[in-house]
Amino acid sequence: MTKNESRVLGYISNYINKHGYSPSFQEIANDLKFKSSSQTHGICMRLINKGKLKRGKPHEVRSLEVI
């Protein structure tokens, strides 16, 4: 797992524990100082492919879950 993947996974986990729902890609990008939400999306898709994250329906917002 890359450094950014670890950062994103930890951020999502902490956010869900605090708020009860997952953050948006834009919130992740802003808080972790990424250049765009598309960078966050790419990292999340890699984490999904690695089995670290689960995503709800394709167009459902805030549907990420840490596995």
Provide the pLDDT for residue 50. Answer: 95
Return the residue matching tokens 């950014």: 4
Position 56 scores a pLDDT of 83
pLDDT in tens, the chain (67 residues): 899 999 999 999 999 999 999 999 999 999 999 999 899 999 999 999 999 999 887 777 788 889 9
Euclidean distance between the first and the last CA atom of the chain, given in angstroms as a whole number: 15
Q: Please give the Cα distance from 62 to 67 (Å, whole number).
A: 15
**CB within 8 Å of 29: residues ≥ 6 apart:** 35, 36, 37, 39, 40
The total number of structural domains that make up the chain = 1
CATH assignment of the domain containing 60: 1.10.10.10
Global confidence as pTM? 0.89
* Domain limits for position 62: 3-66
pLDDT of residue 61: 77
